[in-house]
Amino acid sequence: MATLCTYAATCPVFTTGLGPLPHLGIKYRRAYCRGGWSECARHLLADTVGSDSVPATLLPSQRNQIVEVVAHAVS
């Protein structure tokens, strides 16, 4: 059985479903929040630098942008 991401209660992708883009919100919640969270860029970044440092605009599929965000957070 799939487990819900530990950040679901506070993550905007899960709580708002991406507002004006509900089809993407459903897609991401299915693919990441309800079981595939170990592959989520937001989850990985929250574990690394804290959930408060995760940009609201970062999408679960944008793992390629994590390095840039971490570099900015530690500079």
Q: Which of residues 38-67 bind ligand SF4 (CB under 6 A)?
A: 40, 42-43, 46, 60
CA-CA-CA-CA torsion sign (70, 43, 40, 17): negative
**Least separation, in Å, of the C-beta of 45 and ligand SF4?**
8
**Least separation, in Å, of the C-beta of 31 and ligand SF4?**
9
Nearest to 50 by CA among 33, 18, 73, 30: 73
Task: Tell me: does residue 37 bind ligand SF4 (CB under 6 A).
Answer: yes
Task: Tell me: does residue 14 bind ligand SF4 (CB under 6 A).
Answer: yes
